[in-house]
Amino acid sequence: MDVSKYRAASFNYVDVGATSGRLPSGYHHVEKSRVIGSGLEDFVAAADTLMRWDMHRGTGLKVHSDADNAVPDAVVVLTLGPVRIPCRVVYVIDEANRQGFAYGTLDGHPESGEELFYVDFSPEDGTVSAHITAFSNPGRWYTRLGGPVGQRVQALFTDRYLTALSSACRSPR
């Protein structure tokens, strides 16, 4: 799939970058974390899985991106059957013990909002954790019509994302 047609697409929400702080009101919020491994090797493996879109692939989504890794402004279109889920990376976290990114929904996405994914390593106890934070509202007529079904789908994929990151670790939890 050629994602270049999404390069000019606009974000379909106004609070771009808001996952970096307090989540904006008026949206459905998701905040979920899980210990996924132990040690620096697990952290590197999980971060690599996350940043190379393999976490998304691990859930059964097909990934089409104009970048091999999640980098600022990269466009990614996830597909699930006929459904196209276009997003743009808003920012990247690149710290010694924390790696991740946030992407925002583009025009045409079934939802409207932003999602932050990151993994962190605690040098004190060796714990590797994965974190997902999101805010969203229905972005299309069919997701508005579906009501709480969209939130259930989001919860299912949040769990699948965490499982995919855990599977990347040699000592998954």
Model pLDDT for residues 133-171, shown as the tens digit of each residue = 999 988 776 776 667 777 787 888 899 999 999 999 986
- Quick one: pLDDT at residue 145? 67
> 55-75 pLDDT, tens per residue?
999 999 999 999 999 999 999
- Quick one: pLDDT at residue 171? 67
Residue 118 β-bridge partners? 100, 131
What pTM, to 2 d.p., does this model score?
0.94
Whether 36 contacts 27, CB under 8 Å: no
The residue ranking higher by pLDDT, 172 or 49, is: 49
Pairwise CA distance, residues 5 & 13, whole Å: 19
Pairwise CA distance, residues 38 & 77, whole Å: 32
